Chain A
Amino acid sequence: MSFADKIVSEFELAAKNLNGEKESSLFAMRKEALSSFQKLGIPSNRHEEWRYTNIKTQLPETLSVLSGNASIVEKNGFNNFKEIKATRLVFFNGVFSKELSSIIEQTGVTVGSLKEHLHHNKPVTEKYFGVLVKKYEEHFSVLNTAFATDGAFVHIMKGVTAEFPVFIIHLYNSPENFTQTRNLIVAEESSKLNVIVDFQNLGSASFYNHVSEVFVGKNADVNVTKLQTATANTTAVHTLEADVERDAKFTCTTISLEAKLIRNTTNVRLSGENSEAHLNGLYYAKGTSLIDNHILVDHLVPNCQSNQLYKGILDEEGTGVFNGKIFVKQDAQKTNAFQSSKAILLSDEASINSKPQLEIFADDVKCSHGAAIGQLSDDEIFYLLARGIHKADAKSILTYAFASQIIETIAIDELKVYLDNKLKERLHLDF
């Protein structure tokens, strides 16, 4: 039995225990997603989108996609970023932990466990859950729709500005599971929201498949920061699906500093005129880490703009993958789309596979992309050496400087400080 077949049989096993739920539209959606997964399976590197990231060989077939037993995590057994004033939602192996979470109440801001809201907040979840995953139907996102039972639910009402960021922390420590977690983030018209999604591996190894669906309503402003900074020995697929409506703005920053293998797929649909998307990323692959960023910005309507700014550091035998797609559909005149991918290789064994991909069907657009792969500049290194700084430190300082441009874009100061320190720690810098 293949891994995919085993997964399908697990679905049937889980369905037996659902009783009355089987008649729900949610279950119908899960069944439909499962049948899509049956067609797609787990991709091998023969699949174009997975050519440089051989996920199939990295997922042990013994893994179970059903929720494992959530053992107990101590209050101080993980980083809860207490220096940042925020509403905190903590999930352990995909299950909401009320004890570890702390919610700052605000009228018009609803946050909590997706599991609860799927049952008790159907007007919202039925309208949004699974909708964006269906747009592109990818291997792991449909798998997630079929199985994910819990994750964060964030809903901001029309015209409301969330006073504090929503900090979503996903903790994992179950090496026997391919844990499926899901976030649903809905920002209604003219609302404003800052979300941080953090992933931490607390176990010997973690495998998970995470999907976030983000709806950015008309004239809304949503900023998502994804942190993969405590994710050593983690094999994970992340899919973020966003839909950006008229006059809205979506910003997403993905910081990946630790991984065994992490794939970040970010699909953004600019579906309303005059909307914009800013996608920034920083990844640092050291040891034998592989970090893969696949981005799609889909310009569907006229007068929208998008920016992609990604920077990668590849050290030792680290591998990076960057695939940045910009689609400009026929109607999307006056599109302004920009993409920049820069990577530096710090060792001869490190590698990066970088592929910009522009498909433009409109004739009045401004699109540009630049991909640069290089080493640190000899002149810059020499300048530091000439001041007595050791060569290894000089390289670290310049690598830090290269990366800091992305960290500078982070909107929350305390988070910027955390990332700055984390980066310095990774680079063994002590200033």
Chain B
Amino acid sequence: MRAERILVNAGKTLAVLLLLVWSLFPIVFIITSSFKPGREIFAVPPQWLFEPTFDHYITLWQRWAVFFHGLLNSTIVTIGAAALAVVASTCAGYVYSRYSSRWLGASLLSLIAIRLIPPIVVTLPLFPIVNNLGLADTHFILSVLYATFFVSLGTVLMRTFVDQIPRELDEAASMDGATLPVILWRIIMPLAAPGIIAVAVFVVVFAWNEFLFAFIFTSTKAKTAPLVISEMIGSIEGVDWGVLFAASTIQLLPVLIFVMLMNRYLVAGLTAGATKG
């Protein structure tokens, strides 16, 4: 029995370690490489001990100012998308939770169905429309697009959360004098906070890293950081891998920190409704 348990535990530990290596290796590689002198980056065998250098970061700052502008654009678009998606998902989730009719049921189903369509199918026909409206190359259009693709999932998630808030609380608040927006703001949103954070994490990770829509709908003013990184690869002077890894590290860190900070709530969010709370 005892030997068996040790074996099982060892197996589990090994599996976790493999997973860790599998998921952490690229991150560690990118971050360490950004501090290595250029010729050591792809050295065989890999150099684990090296003298860190900030050269790549300095070069990045001097020659790729457009990257930092891209980061600012990414930040604006991401915050916009997250805010839009959270507000829309919470409101829609509230409606789906509190009201019921045949049409509402059907529309919830269609929300999920829309999610299954490849985004590019919807995106290409949008291009002339966005152009005609004069919305191409704006932060606004990217925020709206990113939010739109997450509202369906966000709505379903938020409905689960609102379902767990007793309806009597809405009624008590309404008798206390609250209007619907006040109920949403002061009762529903604080109590559904883990769900809101889960939706926000999804949207932030997606919007921060997204490439395809940004590539299609922006050119200069609203160009996001991933586009600039791709330009680095296509640079005519050849790829400066050190600078590329420095840019990737900077691109990677904010979202990594954000997800780690929100991790606690995210787990609660993803398992919502699994058991009666």
State whether these chains interact. no
| Interface positions of B (Cβ within 8 A of A) | none
